[in-house]
């Protein structure tokens, strides 16, 4: 795929980001500076006029005018038409309004009247009027406003401010911006390089190790540091590698076990069959029974293997029906008791009341049966097994308790794994595949139930629980 690497993405992002920053700087500092400055000056002159008009009736009108004039660097003249009073403040070196002829002022008064009492004119230094007013080097603004005081005397407020040329400033800024642009680009390149190295280097390392892992080298170690996500990813990959190597050794063990488990009954079957064929005296019921028993073991082994692969691939679905779980357990136990009577095994069942649960009967019997078979295989000398049905919080809990030697604590988490066997020999002459508990786990999980085990050196309790309402 034509994907861009993380390194380049960071680089492009940083360059893009700095370009936008530099572009904004250019726009504001160079391109729009003149307009900004003009707008500020226009607003300043308007607000000066506003303040004067507010103070038109004040005794301190003159000092207000002088203050404003100094503060905002504007020249001001206020004429009262009836009284003929003139208030003036001249702070500019070449003020236009103080140099205007009376005719010009009357002209401005007329224009202001036509413009509903407010008039603003911006003169650029090359305009004709600027020449008329004899100002050649600077832009300037004339603002006039007509206002009536409390005595009904009409006054013309006339203001003038100069807009100094910003070209020199712009030139200085432009040179500065050339440096800033250059510096930003170099800085982004360095930063992109450092960040991408810090971010992508550990990922590249992990990727390299993952490729080695994919080739089947489960001893691969992942080293990822620098930031949280990477060390978490590396921990996960280390864990995965560990689990994969466990599965791999279990798989090899399973092949060895299964071959052994298949070979033993097959040797017996073919051995006994040959004896029965060759020696008519050996052609008896007992020998035929051995062949039947060994064939059954083979069938169980093959069925377990088929079941587990179906559960693992997720093709198995449940056929759920409301069933009396207490009856089902009791019947299974009765059958088992009858079957094991000769071997003197005793399975007891205790329950308070019968419970209806939605289950897939066949699958649930299979799960329970696997727990029961394990309990029979591992229980103590007394050959006793207890099955308990309890009810708590709308859940029915079935426990299968044996009196065997229990399971070592460090082995407990693994017994539910596929192909796991604590030790390879069973007390009873029943071959285990290490699949029984894994089948239990799959079935109970498919029923959305819970399962678990408590174990001490005087016995184990395997349990599962299902919601029944």
Residues lying near ligand ADP in the complex (CB under 6 A)? 370, 374-375, 378, 402, 404, 407, 415, 420-422, 432-438, 460
Least distance in angstroms from the C-beta of 260 to ligand ADP: 13
Q: Which two tokens stand for residue 240?
A: 């995965």
Least distance in angstroms from the C-beta of 439 to ligand ADP: 8
Q: Between 199 and 308, name the residue whose CB sits nearer to ligand ADP.
A: 308
Q: Between 222 and 386, name the residue whose CB sits nearer to ligand ADP.
A: 386
Largest Cα separation within the chain, whole Å, is 154
Least distance in angstroms from the C-beta of 304 to ligand ADP: 8
Q: Between 137 and 346, name the residue whose CB sits nearer to ligand ADP.
A: 346
Q: Which two tokens stand for residue 106?
A: 């009357």
Least distance in angstroms from the C-beta of 193 to ligand ADP: 55
Q: Between 297 and 421, name the residue whose CB sits nearer to ligand ADP.
A: 421
How many other CB atoms are there within 10 angstroms of residue 268's CB atom? 16
Nearest to 168 by CA among 19, 40, 37, 72: 37
Q: Between 194 and 422, name the residue whose CB sits nearer to ligand ADP.
A: 422
Least distance in angstroms from the C-beta of 325 to ligand ADP: 21
Distances in Å between the Cα of 444 and the Cα atoms of 152, 311, 447, 450 are: 99, 11, 5, 7
Least distance in angstroms from the C-beta of 4 to ligand ADP: 49
Least distance in angstroms from the C-beta of 415 to ligand ADP: 4
Do 422 and 408 meet the contact criterion of CB atoms below 8 Å apart? yes
Least distance in angstroms from the C-beta of 365 to ligand ADP: 16
Q: Between 160 and 403, name the residue whose CB sits nearer to ligand ADP.
A: 403
Q: Between 307 and 360, name the residue whose CB sits nearer to ligand ADP.
A: 307
Do 341 and 335 meet the contact criterion of CB atoms below 8 Å apart? no
Rounded (5°) CA angle 54-60-64: 60
Do 376 and 366 meet the contact criterion of CB atoms below 8 Å apart? no
Do 440 and 370 meet the contact criterion of CB atoms below 8 Å apart? yes
Least distance in angstroms from the C-beta of 397 to ligand ADP: 17
Q: Between 80 and 454, name the residue whose CB sits nearer to ligand ADP.
A: 454
Q: Which two tokens stand for residue 95?
A: 């003020």
Rounded (5°) CA angle 215-219-225: 100
Q: Between 10 and 254, name the residue whose CB sits nearer to ligand ADP.
A: 254
Least distance in angstroms from the C-beta of 253 to ligand ADP: 11
Between CA 333 and CA 369 the distance in angstroms is: 9
Between CA 203 and CA 207 the distance in angstroms is: 6
Least distance in angstroms from the C-beta of 360 to ligand ADP: 20
Transcribe 166-225 into DSSP letters: -HHHHHHHHHHHHHHHHHHHHHHHHHHHHHHHHHHHHHHHHHHHHHHHHTT-TT------
Q: Between 99 and 411, name the residue whose CB sits nearer to ligand ADP.
A: 411
Q: Between 135 and 441, name the residue whose CB sits nearer to ligand ADP.
A: 441
Between CA 225 and CA 288 the distance in angstroms is: 66
Q: Between 180 and 435, name the residue whose CB sits nearer to ligand ADP.
A: 435
Least distance in angstroms from the C-beta of 191 to ligand ADP: 56
Nearest to 437 by CA among 308, 286, 315, 318: 308
Enumerate residues 6+ apart whose C-beta is below 8 A from 426. 377, 378, 432
Helices H / strands E in the chain, number of each: 11, 12
Between CA 435 and CA 432 the distance in angstroms is: 8
Transcribe 3-63 into DSSP letters: PPPHHHHHHHHHHHHHHHHHHHHHIIIIISHHHHHHHHHHHHHHHHHHHHHHTTT-TTHHH
């Amino acid at each position: 795929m034509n994907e861009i690497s993380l390194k380049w993405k960071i680089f492009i992002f940083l360059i893009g980001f700095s370009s936008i920053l530099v572009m904004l700087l250019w726009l504001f500092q160079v391109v729009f500076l003149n307009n900004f400055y003009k707008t500020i000056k226009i607003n300043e002159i308007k607000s000066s006029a506003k303040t004067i008009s507010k103070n038109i009736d004040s005794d301190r009108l003159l000092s207000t005018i002088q203050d404003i004039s100094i503060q905002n660097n504007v020249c001001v003249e206020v004429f009262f038409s009836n009284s003929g009073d003139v208030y003036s403040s001249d702070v500019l070196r070449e003020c236009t309004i103080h140099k205007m002829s009376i005719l010009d002022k009357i002209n401005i008064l007329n224009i202001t009247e036509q413009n509903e009492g407010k008039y603003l004119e911006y003169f650029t230094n090359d305009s004709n009027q600027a020449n008329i007013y004899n100002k050649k080097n600077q832009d300037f603004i004339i603002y006039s406003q007509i206002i009536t005081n409390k005595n009904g005397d009409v006054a013309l407020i006339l203001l003038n401010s100069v807009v100094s040329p910003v070209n020199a400033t712009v030139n200085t800024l432009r040179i500065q911006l050339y440096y800033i642009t250059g510096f930003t680009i170099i800085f982004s390149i360095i930063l992109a390089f450092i960040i991408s190295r810090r971010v992508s280097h550990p990922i590249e390392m992990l990727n390299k190790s993952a490729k080695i892992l994919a080739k089947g080298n489960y001893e691969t170690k992942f080293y990822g540091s620098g930031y949280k996500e990477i060390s978490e990813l590396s921990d996960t990959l280390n864990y995965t590698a560990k689990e994969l190597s466990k599965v791999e050794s279990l798989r090899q063990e399973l092949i060895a076990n299964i071959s052994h488990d298949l070979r033993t009954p097959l040797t017996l079957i073919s051995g006994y069959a040959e004896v029965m064929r060759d020696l008519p005296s050996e052609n008896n019921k007992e020998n035929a029974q051995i062949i039947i028993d060994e064939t059954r073991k083979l069938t169980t082994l093959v069925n377990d293997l088929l079941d587990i692969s179906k559960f693992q691939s997720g093709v198995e679905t449940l056929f759920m029906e409301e069933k009396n779980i207490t009856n089902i357990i009791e019947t299974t136990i009765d059958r088992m008791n009858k079957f094991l009577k000769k071997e003197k095994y005793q399975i007891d069942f205790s329950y308070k009341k019968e419970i209806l649960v939605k289950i897939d009967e066949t699958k649930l019997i299979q799960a329970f049966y696997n727990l029961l078979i394990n309990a029979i295989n591992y229980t103590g000398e007394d050959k006793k097994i207890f099955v308990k049905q309890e009810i708590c919080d709308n859940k029915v809990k079935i426990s299968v308790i044996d009196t065997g030697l229990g399971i070592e604590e460090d082995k407990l988490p693994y017994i539910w794994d596929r192909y796991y066997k604590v030790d390879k020999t069973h007390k009873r002459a029943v071959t285990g595949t290490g699949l029984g508990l894994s089948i239990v786990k799959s079935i109970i999980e498919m029923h959305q139930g819970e399962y678990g085990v408590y174990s001490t050196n005087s016995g184990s309790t395997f349990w599962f629980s299902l919601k029944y309402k």
